[in-house]
Amino acid sequence: MEFMRIKNKDRFAQRVKTYLCLLMHLSLYSLFLIPLVSCHHQTQETVITEDSLVWYPGRTFSYKTKFNDLQAKQHEAASRIGLARPPKDRKDAASMRKQLVEIKTNENYIVDSLTHSVPYLIPAAKRELDAIGAEWADILSRNGLPHYRFYITSVLRTEEDIKYLQRSGNINSVTQSCHCYGTTFDLAYMRYDKVTHTRAYMHEDNLKLVLGQVLLNHQRAGKIYVKYEWKQSCFHITVRQ
């Protein structure tokens, strides 16, 4: 019996020694593994943060202060140079197509999926929209920045569209809307489509600054009226001439 007791003790001691040895090897393995994983993670963060983000070196300004051309001023210009009367519905708008030009997605802007307007403007407004797109592309190119496209979120609306928007609770949908004359379009300022295939990218706020600078140039030149609609996240623009 005594012999069996001693033999069992030896077996227990051997098992403990084996477990301790295994634990030691696992601990050493962990010490080597953790730094390798951590270094890899830090390298990825460094590439994204330091090598990819680029900025437009333009001056910031107050959008709300600079772009405060009110509804009455914009409506006067729209009714003076736009369609003779607002179209009642989509069928009525179609009958006015000879006075309008269709706008389509191109290399500088995207016509969004319009649900409460149709993609048509009077020729003067279309020319101004294209000029804004061209200057936008030029600023990005001259500063060595990636090329992006901005979004057009609203164009020509009918009286029927206006009533529908009012029923849905859109606070910016007034009965005497500039959008009903083919002179007015909205540009989103927090959504952009990247065209350039590069690791470099720009924040939406910085792209907003580029777009804002273009609009400020055209506003100062007397070409457009601009209202900063922060609740709708867009620039509301009416051509003046």
For the CA atoms of 176, 178, 180, 181, the dihedral, rounded to the nearest 10 degrees, stands at 120
205 shares a domain with 119: yes
Burial class for 147, CB neighbours closer than 10 Å (0-12, 13-18, 19+)? middle
pLDDT of residue 176: 74
* Positive or negative torsion for Cα 129, 134, 139, 141: positive
Q: Write down the residue that tokens 């943060």 correspond to.
A: 49
104 shares a domain with 18: no
Please report which helix (H) or strand (E) contains residue 29, including its range: helix 2-51
pLDDT of residue 174: 55
Which CATH number is 75's domain given? 3.30.1380
Q: How far apart are CA 183 and CA 82, in angstroms?
A: 6
Burial class for 84, CB neighbours closer than 10 Å (0-12, 13-18, 19+)? exposed
Q: How far apart are CA 126 and CA 237, in angstroms?
A: 12
146 shares a domain with 38: no
**Would you say residue 139 lies in a domain?**
yes
**Would you say residue 57 lies in a domain?**
no
Residue 178: domain span: 63-239
Residue 223 Cα distances to 16, 123, 238, angstroms = 87, 14, 9
pLDDT of residue 48: 39
**Would you say residue 164 lies in a domain?**
yes
1 shares a domain with 116: no
DSSP letter at 132 equals: H
Q: In the numeric block, which tokens belong to residue 182?
A: 């083919």
155 shares a domain with 109: yes
133 shares a domain with 31: no
187 shares a domain with 120: yes
In the chain, which stretches have pLDDT less than 50?
A: 1-9, 12, 16, 19-50, 171
pLDDT of residue 17: 54
Domain count, the chain: 2
pLDDT of residue 240: 96
pLDDT of residue 169: 59
Contact 99, 123 (CB under 8 A): no
